[in-house]
Chains A and B, each alone.
Chain A
Amino acid sequence: MAEDDADIRCAGGRAPDPLVPGGWLEMREYGEEPVDFVIVGTGAGGAPLAARLAEAGFSVVAMDAGPFWRPLEDFASDESHQSKLFWTDDRIVDGDDPIVLGSNNSGKSVGGSTVHFAMVSLRFRPDHFRSRSLLGYGADWPIDWREMWDYYREVERVLHISGPVSYPWGPKRPRYPLRAHPLNAAADYLARGAEALGIDWAETPIATLSAPIGKAHPCVYRGFCVTGCSTNAKQSALVTWIPRALRAGAEVRDRAMVGRIETGPNGLATGVHYHRGGQWRFQRARAVIVAGYAIETPRLLLASATADQPDGLANSSGLVGRNLMIQLNQAAWGQVDDEVRSYKGPPSLAVSEHWNYRDEGKDYHGGWSYMSQGPLPVTWAKTLAGGRGLWGRELLDEMERANHSVGLKMVGEALPNAANRVTLADETDQYGLRIPRVTHSYSDNERAMMRHATRFMEDSLKATGARETWREMGDTCHLGGTARMGFDRTTSVVDADCRSWDVPNLWICDGSVFPTVGGVNPSLTIQAIACRTADRIVAMSRQGAL
């Protein structure tokens, strides 16, 4: 009965029930007749749209290049094995500071990278939606923060976010749906450091259950969160939006790699060419929603160029693939007498957003947050080897002190820069598709933010008695940009509703529409935008404006 990881599972009128070993959910199937929406990608952008649009009565086919997992039986407690959750198709990275891809910025599963995300669920600072007007850098979003605030609330409820009773920063927000998790030792170090430096900290609002919900148990603090949750406490898109989408009549196609969006003589999208079960197929659709994240989304648009749109679909602005933003993920680490054993519990149980909300005392633009850390052995060994140049005996000895290591890591706002971009390389992949080339270099602004943040985090560690502190300067996380939303067709790819300016039945809804990335993890914001887009589509449909 054990299925192979490589099997297509969504077929024959059923899809896996991700919450039950060997379980199935009924699934409606549409064949390749035209559907209202075909959605490319089922992560934080695509999955909420599949659920919300199906619930509104639209016919929906949602495709993902990756497999449909049942975590209870498919997931091992093992970093190496679980790299099966990452996007491992060929990609070229270049620029002055080529970025490491895979673990913290990609996903190839139904549910996308939310299947292995760290679950940190923060709202943008309101001012960060208008950073150009209010703070003098970056770009304004065409969406008002108060509207986003309502959608944040919706997503927090769907994901049963556990969080603090009161949140120290920003406008007053309602109670989180579930109580906060207890702090582990690593989080306690963040809290004590923040208090010593006189700034606020909070229990991290986090998308893992602190109470039983439905078929899922509360978090058991196993600590393998970023390699996939094998107990389903993690509120990934796979266990939340996807079952909801299936129940509402959406069809999910696993292991379906979309290679090209087809357009008709009138320039409108007519469907997608996709590779599944060893052959290329065509799904007709009245509208196409691209939700492949900041690399695969522009790759697909660029690969869908036509004689009329020779620079790529929806790219009259020339901005498809441009303004790729990473988030800074630098850290400070140290050694303490206490046994910390940071492998226990979700890795980031405490957070400070102090430097997202405070603008004084900075020699750079943008904000950042920082969180406690819990690296697993392979990640920690790579951190020490890459960040400190340790190998051989030195590395082995340092690894054996891991239970006394403690660290803090930032999520920092990189600024949009048109030179950082995704293009198509000449080399092709296993589907015969041109692979993406990801070009990235830091600017002086990012370097200044890194300096400030790593110094501050190191001071926090020292204030708690940590010794032998050091700064990890190399890491990045999360992606954004490459199909930005905006106010007009010359300076953006989509409008506030995530609708293409050029192709009215083409929508883009994932982290690639971010004009700026802020200093918080993006998953909550992506899901909030997806819910807003669903509402806008329903409203426009009622008005006959689709």
Chain B
Amino acid sequence: MADRYAHYDVLDKRDTPSWNDKTRQVIDARMSLREADAGIGEARLATLRRLVSRIAPQPERHAPANTVALLAHKIVKDEGEGFRPATLPRLRECWLRGLDAIEAEAQARHGRAFAGLDAERADALLRGIEAGETQASDWIALPARDFWNWRVIPDIVSMHWSHPSLWSAMGFGGPASPRGYVRLDVNRRDPWEAEEHGDG
């Protein structure tokens, strides 16, 4: 798809009335997180990197998001939303076991690391987890579909679309406080909103 907002960057508004101090502080801290500092271990980090790259690709014409780092920190700090289905353990344990299970699944299917699978094989493996059709014994105690629906998808997607690059790519206005918006009507935009360029 042609990038409709290639020339738009939410971060250009960082020092305008659209961002308050608290927002600057929160976003700066988020963008500074690094994968290596999370302490999740190199093997699991490699699995996580490959997983994130398949579920949540980077936008083509905006700076890459540090989604892997955000998720790795969330896992290590066990920052769940609190609720979880009876079939799954808490966030950190769930993710660590889940990453190991994905790796075991790759070994069972292809005899090699998940991080080394090509896109086609990696996606086929992930579709298996999504459908609950798996081979590795790790999934007996960690139901694959529940792991997918309650952890993999919401957690990766939440981290990815918490990054300003993804906001820019979709033409989202981004942070808006104290300045909000004036023009609310169909096909109207304020000067501080993204201008859309046609796909043609």
- Do A101 and B181 contact each other (CB < 8 Å), given the known contacts A188-B186, A223-B176, A340-B186? no
In the complex, what residues of A have CB within 8 A of residue B187's CB?
A: 185, 338-339
Expressed in whole angstroms, the Cα–Cα distance for A542 and B83 within the complex equals 44
* B98: interface (CB < 8 Å): no
Instruction: Point out which of A73, A221, A343, A400 has the most chain B C-beta atoms below 10 A from its C-beta.
Output: A400
Name B19-52 residues within 8 Å CB distance of A. 19-23, 25-27, 30
Q: How many residues of chain B are within 8 Å of chain A by beta carbon?
A: 64
* B180: interface (CB < 8 Å): yes
Instruction: Point out which of B130, B157, B175, B182 has the most chain A C-beta atoms below 10 A from its C-beta.
Output: B157
Name A47-79 residues within 8 Å CB distance of B. 73-79
Closest to A79 in B: B162
- Do A75 and B22 contact each other (CB < 8 Å), given the known contacts A87-B82, A98-B85, A102-B82? yes
* B57: interface (CB < 8 Å): yes
Interface CB pairs A-B, < 8 A, 13:
A77-B19, A77-B174, A93-B85, A101-B81, A102-B81, A185-B184, A220-B177, A222-B179, A223-B176, A223-B181, A339-B196, A382-B153, A393-B57
In the complex, what residues of A have CB within 8 A of residue B26's CB?
A: 76, 78, 81
* A457: interface (CB < 8 Å): no
In the complex, what residues of B have CB within 8 A of residue A87's CB?
A: 82
The interface size bin for chain A is 35 or more
A74 in complex: contacting residue of B22, B30, B57, CB < 8 Å: B22
A392 in complex: contacting residue of B85, B123, B159, CB < 8 Å: B123
* B86: interface (CB < 8 Å): yes
Name A385-402 residues within 8 Å CB distance of B. 385-386, 389, 391-393, 395-397, 399-400, 402
Q: Is the interface of A mostly helix, strand, loop or mixed?
A: loop
Chain B 124-159, CB within 8 Å of chain A: the 1/0 string?
A: 001000100000000000000000010001100111
* B178: interface (CB < 8 Å): yes
Contact across chains for A392 and B82 when beta carbons are under 8 A apart = no
In the complex, what residues of B have CB within 8 A of residue A77's CB?
A: 18-20, 23, 174-177
B153 in complex: contacting residue of A78, A376, A385, CB < 8 Å: A385
- Do A402 and B171 contact each other (CB < 8 Å), given the known contacts A73-B22, A75-B22, A378-B157? yes
Contact across chains for B83 and A92 when beta carbons are under 8 A apart = yes
In the complex, what residues of B have CB within 8 A of residue A183's CB?
A: 184
B86 in complex: contacting residue of A93, A182, A378, CB < 8 Å: A93
A90 to chain B, nearest CB (A): 6
Closest to B153 in A: A385
* A184: interface (CB < 8 Å): yes
* B112: interface (CB < 8 Å): no
- Do A381 and B160 contact each other (CB < 8 Å), given the known contacts A88-B81, A101-B83, A230-B20? yes
In the complex, what residues of A have CB within 8 A of residue B84's CB?
A: 90-93
In the complex, what residues of A have CB within 8 A of residue B166's CB?
A: 377, 399
Name B78-108 residues within 8 Å CB distance of A. 80-86, 90
Expressed in whole angstroms, the Cα–Cα distance for A100 and B154 within the complex equals 11
Instruction: Point out which of A73, A222, A231 has the most chain B C-beta atoms below 10 A from its C-beta.
Output: A222
In the complex, what residues of A have CB within 8 A of residue B19's CB?
A: 77
Closest to A403 in B: B171
- Do A402 and B170 contact each other (CB < 8 Å), given the known contacts A80-B158, A385-B153, A386-B149? yes
Expressed in whole angstroms, the Cα–Cα distance for A133 and B160 within the complex equals 51
Closest to A384 in B: B157
Name A316-354 residues within 8 Å CB distance of B. 338-341, 343-345
